[in-house]
Structure 1
Amino acid sequence: MPQADTLTVVHHDDTRTRFKDVRYELHRDGIRIWSDEGEHHVTDVLMTHAYRQRDATH
């Protein structure tokens, strides 16, 4: 499962939602995100930007 230090979800109306220190899965119907705040399922996704600045832990 991919990890990101910063994950930005760009929605169809060009708004953005940012998450920090997450794991995520891309699906046909959106993206599922796990963070310290819990699990999120976003279906209105135009694109995503994921940045990883440190080595991933297994």
Structure 2
Amino acid sequence: MPQADTLTVVHHDDTRTRYKDVRYQLVRGGIRIWSDEGEHAFEDILMTHAYRQREAND
């Protein structure tokens, strides 16, 4: 399951929802996100942006 330091979900009405330090799964109907606040699910999303910081050893 992919992990992101920062994940932004862009909705069809151009609003954005941002999360930090999450795991996520893109599914046919949208996206599922697991964060410290719990599990979140969004349908009908426009796009996502996931960023991961590089490790110092890379």
Aligned identity (percent) is 84
- Structure with a larger share of its residues in strand: 2
Amino acid at match of 1:13: D
- Taking only aligned residues, the RMSD between alpha carbons, in angstroms, comes to 0.9
Q: Which runs of 4+ in 1 moved over 3 A?
A: none
Equivalent residue runs for 1:6-25 within 5 Å: 6-25=6-25
Aligned length: 55
Whole-angstrom distance in 1 between the partners of 2:17 and 2:44: 11
Whole-angstrom distance in 2 between the partners of 1:5 and 1:17: 14
Ranges in structure 2 where 5+ consecutive residues have no aligned partner: none
Normalised to the residue count of structure 2, the TM-score between the two structures is: 0.90
Ranges in structure 1 where 5+ consecutive residues have no aligned partner: none
